[in-house]
Amino acid sequence: MTTTLAATTTHTAAAADLTLSGSDQGIVIAVGVIALVALVIAFVLRAGVLAAGQGTPKMREISEAVQEGAAAYLGRQFRTLGIFVVIVFALLFVLPANTTGERIGRSIFFLVGAGFSAAIGYLGMWLSTRANVRVAAAANEPGGRDAAMRIAFRTGGTVGLATTGLGLLGTAIVVLVYTGEAPKVLEGFGFGAALLAMFMRVGGGIFTKAADVGADLVGKVEQGIPEDDPRNAATIADNVGDNVGDCAGMAADLFESYAVTLVASLILGSAAFGAKGLIFPLIVPAIGVLTAIIGVYITKPRAGEAGLTTINRSFYISAVISAVLCGVAAFVYLPGSFADLGVAAVANETGNPALIAFIAVIIGIVLAAVILWLTGYFTGTETKPTNDVADASLTGAATVVLAGISVGFESAVYTALVIAGAVYGAFLLSGSLIVALFMIALAGCGLLTTVGVIVAMDTFGPVSDNAQGVAEMSGEVSEQGAQILTELDAVGNTTKAITKGIAIATAVLAATALFGSYSDAILQAMVTAGEAIEVFTANVVSPATLVGMLLGACVVFLFSGLAVNAVSRAAGAVVYEVRRQFRDIPGIMEGTTKPEYGKVVDIVTRDSLRELATPGLLAVFAPIAVGFGLGVGPLAGYLAGTIATGTLMAVFLANSGGAWDNAKKIVEDGRHGGKGSPAHEATVIGDTVGDPFKDTAGPAINPLLKVMNLVSVLIAPAVVTLTVGSGANEGIRYAIAAVALVIIIAAVVVSKRRASALHADQPQPA
């Protein structure tokens, strides 16, 4: 361990002394230019989407109501989150840093990361709320399937290219301005992106699923009316939710995945490969930007081709192009020997740096492709698992729920094994720990080359879903147009599930790489404190480390439970409000009176903003309580517990929810009696159970993992300073842990005591 300590200290010192040659600076500038090109292409795609026809006045009226509700919600959410951002900005100044420049840069770029994450989320919401009516109008035209699909996918392409462009631009600026200090400054950039994305994911997820569950339970189950029937007061809120949850929330989530993976890559790359390791992780996603542009423009359905086949083909083509170009970049830019890197600590390593870096990138690209296939298999409408869930509807809702849970459990195992194989395969590429961790981070960069297309696939889902809602509520779309939109909606359900699977894979790769950054931060802090001792004297069989692992697993379960429970409470309030309107407002069912849509929007807005605080506080303060209370060894166990449990939990929740949703689509298309049948009612119940699984708790685990890892990296020097050396102070250390624990307990207690809408005196089914 003493040897490892010395080696890592050398890495850290080398990273701080890095200077970029003129050619390296030119490459960083070129990367920045590519990022700007991505933003320009995104603007061009946006203009193309907005140029499409908007359909009838009735369709535009419905779309405008959705736009108004989504903008109002995000405005209130950003004002609420502004308080958290200001507090964290101030706290980052207090945490230790090597230089004043690092401390200031880390705090400033925390704001930049948070601002970029918010901007991506807002763009996703803004454009998708305008694309829905255009997709519906296109589907209503003769031969409109191709046009509708193109508009929906290019809406996602706009957001995807903006995601990659801003992520790459921010990182390139930090590297160019701060160079040796860039890794520390990027910790703030990644933390800002991850923190805001987590809050947007939780808040948007609660909003969308509270409205969706409430609308389904009263509309479909109790009243027997279609999903987007305008007589249902929750329909506008449901359509608003698709945009603030699936578009704004997921776009911010994938942006922070992009940013955090780059952060981990640059931290470890500068330690392992020196200046080359600081530049190469920028080159790989820059190539991804170019291939994303290709992927978006080649997405054109062939005659008689299924929509999912078209989208998958574009993904695979762009992935292959990325692999080839990354191979060229690796062998042109990186040397063939570790001795030529100029990093003393790895000069004696054997092997070819260019070759192993290329293999690591390929591992990430292949991982994305395998997860795309695996998730599609478990959630697609044409495959056996989802059809088995649909067939279970013949025996009632209970068997539908059980079948969906079974699909989720099984798919989580296979997905986790694939991710574990990718992580371990990248790790085995080098015998040096720091180089092996860098390879894991590079695998994440390889996966990032597909992010532009992945975001396009994800946004495609809610845009198609909203388009179907606009069509059904307006009643002005032909039968053929409605069938086109139903098909695109089913494809969108699968693409959303696929992107969730790839997002969790990115989270695991980034979290594993950040785990290495956490170890490096501890070792550096210990040397600064004058202590050359073992960091993790407590290995995995130590009770302290095991306790940390258990606590990490517990946080994932508690976080998921809080998110699902928040949806349950808010959905209950929606159910009672919709029932009240059916009971108290004459003429709704006859279609002569318009429901009070705004009241349901207000309910879910209020409840989602109120409920997002508790999971957010848990994510930030739990690692603080463990780190300062138990020490760096148990905190390492804590992170391992969250990564392992979070991977399985996120995939289970996402895939079971996706299977339930598409099983409902299968029955609605005519299987087992179609709409209105007992089988349909059973699948609706399964879908409502799955809604908070796949769109609230499951996706929110992705940023949760990275927020907790980044918090741990940021507090590690302070924990060490208060634990060993001349600055040791157990009183302050335990006081910080106690304050963090009190905040967590208070947040959970307040959440539990919050008045539930479920009272016996509330309106019963009409």
Which pLDDT belongs to residue 525? 67
Which pLDDT belongs to residue 552? 92
Tell me, yes or no, whether 16 lies in a domain.
no
Highest mean pLDDT among 33-42, 180-189, 690-699: 33-42
Which pLDDT belongs to residue 56? 84
394-425 b/e with 16+ CB inside 10 Å = b?
beebebbbebbbbbbeebbebbbebbeebbeb
Per-residue pLDDT at 457 exceeds 90: no
Per-residue pLDDT at 760 exceeds 70: no
Which pLDDT belongs to residue 227? 67
Which pLDDT belongs to residue 1? 30
Top pLDDT among 331 and 607 is at 331
> In angstroms, what CA-CA distances link 49 with 30, 52, 567, 697?
29, 6, 33, 31
Which residue range forms the structural domain that includes residue 77?
A: 2-7+30-92+100-753
Top pLDDT among 169 and 249 is at 169
> Number of structural domains, the chain?
1
Q: What is the pLDDT of residues 132-161, one digit of tens each?
A: 888 888 888 877 788 888 888 888 888 888
Task: Determine the Cα–Cα distance for residues 701 and 508; give it in Å rounded to an integer.
Answer: 11
Which pLDDT belongs to residue 4? 37
Least confident of 6-15, 35-44, 127-136, 248-257: 6-15
Q: What is the pLDDT of residues 505-522, one digit of tens each?
A: 887 887 777 776 677 667
Top pLDDT among 17 and 546 is at 546
Per-residue pLDDT at 194 exceeds 90: no
Tell me, yes or no, whether 280 lies in a domain.
yes
Which pLDDT belongs to residue 720? 81
Per-residue pLDDT at 684 exceeds 60: yes
Q: What is the pLDDT of residues 86-119, one digit of tens each?
A: 888 888 887 776 777 778 888 898 899 889 988 8
Average pLDDT over residues 46-68: 85
Q: What is the pLDDT of residues 586-611, one digit of tens each?
A: 887 777 788 887 888 888 888 887 87
Question: Around 455, how many Cα atoms within 13 Å sit in the side-chain half-sphere?
Answer: 39
Contacts 24+ apart (CB under 8 A), 332-339: 333/27, 333/276, 333/279, 333/280, 333/283, 334/273, 334/276, 334/280, 335/276
Which pLDDT belongs to residue 83? 83
Average pLDDT over residues 20-33: 86
Find the DSSP H helices in 529-631. 543-584, 597-611, 613-630
Tell me, yes or no, whether 225 lies in a domain.
yes
Average pLDDT over residues 445-474: 82
The percent of residues above 70 in pLDDT, for the chain, comes to: 92
Q: With bands split at pLDDT 50, 70 and 90, how would you rate the model's confidence at 16? A: very low
Tell me, yes or no, whether 21 lies in a domain.
no
Task: Determine the Cα–Cα distance for residues 37 and 61; give it in Å rounded to an integer.
Answer: 35
Per-residue pLDDT at 9 exceeds 80: no
Top pLDDT among 289 and 591 is at 289
Which pLDDT belongs to residue 536? 41
Which pLDDT belongs to residue 465? 80
Which pLDDT belongs to residue 753? 74
Tell me, yes or no, whether 178 lies in a domain.
yes
Which pLDDT belongs to residue 530? 59
Tell me, yes or no, whether 126 lies in a domain.
yes
Which pLDDT belongs to residue 532? 45
Contact 285, 416 (CB under 8 A): no
* Residue that has been written with the tokens 């279970």 in this structure: 392
Per-residue pLDDT at 362 exceeds 90: yes
> In angstroms, what CA-CA distances link 390 with 178, 407, 468, 498?
56, 12, 22, 20
Task: Determine the Cα–Cα distance for residues 258 and 247; give it in Å rounded to an integer.
Answer: 16
Per-residue pLDDT at 356 exceeds 90: yes
Q: What is the pLDDT of residues 374-399, one digit of tens each?
A: 888 898 888 899 999 999 999 988 99
Task: Determine the Cα–Cα distance for residues 443 and 427; give it in Å rounded to an integer.
Answer: 10
For 169-191, give the DSSP string.
HHHHHHHHHHGGGHHHHHHHHHH
Tell me, yes or no, whether 25 lies in a domain.
no
Per-residue pLDDT at 538 exceeds 60: no
Contact 186, 263 (CB under 8 A): yes
Task: Determine the Cα–Cα distance for residues 626 and 741; give it in Å rounded to an integer.
Answer: 9
Q: With bands split at pLDDT 50, 70 and 90, how would you rate the model's confidence at 15? A: very low
* Residue that has been written with the tokens 């390929």 in this structure: 362
Mean pLDDT of the chain: 82
Q: Under 8 Å CB-to-CB from 57, ≥6 apart: which residues?
A: none
Tell me, yes or no, whether 762 lies in a domain.
no
Distance from the first to the final alpha carbon of the chain: 70
For the purposes of burial, counting CB atoms within 10 Å of the CB of 90, is it exposed (0-12), middle (13-18) or buried (19 or more)? Answer: exposed
Other C-beta atoms lying within 10 Å of the C-beta of residue 226 = 17
Contact 722, 528 (CB under 8 A): no
Average pLDDT over residues 391-409: 92
Handedness of CA 91, 96, 100, 102 (dihedral sign): negative
Threshold 0.75, pTM exceeds: yes
Per-residue pLDDT at 7 exceeds 70: no
Element containing residue 251 per DSSP (H, E): helix 250-273
